[in-house]
Amino acid sequence: MTIGVVGGGASAVCLLDTLAERKDMPRGHITVFEPSSHLWRGRPYQADLDVIRVNAPPGDMSVRAGSPNHFQNWLDSTGTRSGHYGRYWDPLAGMAFVPRGVYGDYLEQTARSAMTRLIDRGWRVELVRDRVLDAVPTAGGLTVTTERGHMSYVDYAVLCFGGNGPEDLYSLTGSNRYIADPYPAMRTMRDIPADATVGVIGSGLTAVDIVRVLARSGHRGRIRLLSRRGVLPSVRQRPIPHGLLHFTPVRFRAAAARGENTSLAELTGIMGAELTAAGENPDTVHAEITAVEREEPATRLRRQLAGVTSRRMGLRILQQAVPEAGPDVWPLLPDAEQDRVLDRHHRTMMSLCCPMSPASAQVLLGLIRSGQLELVRDLRDIEVKGDRFTVHTATGALRADYVINAVNCRLRSHPAGATPLIRSLVAADLAEPHPHGGVRVERATSRLTVRNRPDSRLHALGDPAAGSLFFTFGIQSLVDRSVDIVGSIRTDLASRASRLTNVRVLRRRYAEPVQLSA
């Protein structure tokens, strides 16, 4: 058995660890293809300033399936103080938010450990620091070719490459004071003068990172978050455990197995039952959802920060249920309803499901109160003349000395480096592009599909499956899909072995001499 893993970031780490933990897998050969310098870390978790934090507690960041304490145990083993009164502890949230660079260390060590365990069990593990450009069918498997001409035969390939970097919506690339990608901030933002006016395109978690970096560095100039809608991430509440009763992955997987679809109206009813069972009023949660784009951003930020320790469960249930069941719900929605969600509610959903830490919210609110931070809505265009930028909004023009891009485009695009591979797969009738981004995959196994027929040789993990599954962000989603993929490969191996056994039996049967009666 040979497996090719295209991409060597966090997705690949989840896959390797799941594979290493699966003791019933036969020995094989696995090759990881990764051309960038961010091996195992990817773009998000490269070494950077301590103020750039993971926006989830350690229990949500474990790459070990079935072991939510794996990351926390690693932190404890390295002497990282992440518990009460540690340097990364958020007292208001009652949890720790560690630096992304520290999490990148965890990914690196986990990947090395997984490879070592595989080698100890007789696997051959190979790392090719090159980009895969082509994959063609060959004798029941695939032949993949890299940019430098390295050719490998694989029985199975898993597409694990990350998403595109920040999108240049206003054609500013090449401008002297335009920062196209803020990471790593310790390099990209170190030369910004303390009194400069900084415009940040976007208002999501990346924009929050930028504000925190500027605040930590003692920046004195005005900071403006520039976006069309002015939607900030929600503020994460102190965790209270809850067991889902109605809006569960099991329910939606069973519906998929019966060939059923669903609708937004039906999902609203199921979520209402979930909230009612917990003693919550669905109307209150609906009001919170509509407030994302209707309430003045600073007012919403202030209100949510004040509610971090509230015992009300409504928003907590929503933030738990949507990511957990989302990958099973999304394929059940008709295309028209998926389009409606993406066109009308995408920013709202991301704000609710990808919250910022209370510590970040406190920093933003403090800067807003002082007048240093301004949230600018209705962004129309940004022009550059010389070393100055003019920001055009619905209410007038503003200026900026520096502009930093914080726009993340997860859907409808893939990295430029992956384009030749995707084209080759499509040309060979091995992949079908999804209109929302990436390629079409089967929900239960993450196998690539063409005209609804899955291919046992090809799987997608993370951003390449975003169009089909949407909820591919978050480590827990990557872990769950890794379990699906490894299980799919194991099932296919068993099927191949069964077919081979049947062929051998038939060969022996027809090779036996015929006994003639007297």
Q: Express each pLDDT in 367-379 by its tens digit.
A: 999 999 999 999 9
pLDDT the model gives residue 518: 46
Which are the contacts of 87, defined by CB distance < 8 A and separation ≥ 6?
81
pLDDT the model gives residue 504: 60
Spell out where 338-465 has E strands: 373-376, 379-385, 388-393, 396-400, 402-405, 447-450, 453-460
For 360-407, how does the pLDDT look when each residue is reduced to its tens digit (9 = 90+)?
999 999 999 999 999 999 999 999 998 899 999 999 999 999 999 999
Q: Whole-angstrom Cα distance, residue 326 to residue 321?
A: 8
Residue with tokens 């938010």: 97
pLDDT the model gives residue 471: 82
pLDDT the model gives residue 511: 64
- According to DSSP, the β-strands at 198-201 and 402-405 are parallel
Which are the contacts of 15, defined by CB distance < 8 A and separation ≥ 6?
5, 158, 160, 461, 482, 485, 486
Residue 465 is encoded by which pair of tokens? 């499956």
pLDDT the model gives residue 446: 95
pLDDT the model gives residue 207: 96
pLDDT less than 50: residues of the chain: 518
Helix then strand then coil, in percent of the chain rounded to 5, is 40, 20, 40
pLDDT the model gives residue 514: 53
The three-state secondary structure class of 43 is: coil
Which are the contacts of 250, defined by CB distance < 8 A and separation ≥ 6?
none
Count of CB atoms within 10 A of residue 276's CB?
A: 12
Phi then psi dihedrals of residue 52, to 5 deg: -85, 105
H helix or E strand, kind and range, residue 251: helix 249-257
pLDDT the model gives residue 381: 96
Confirm if 495 and 478 have CB atoms less than 8 A apart. no
pLDDT the model gives residue 163: 76
In Å, what is the CA distance from 19 to each residue of 301, 447, 454, 459, 485?
42, 16, 21, 14, 9
pLDDT the model gives residue 167: 83
pTM: 0.91
pLDDT the model gives residue 517: 53
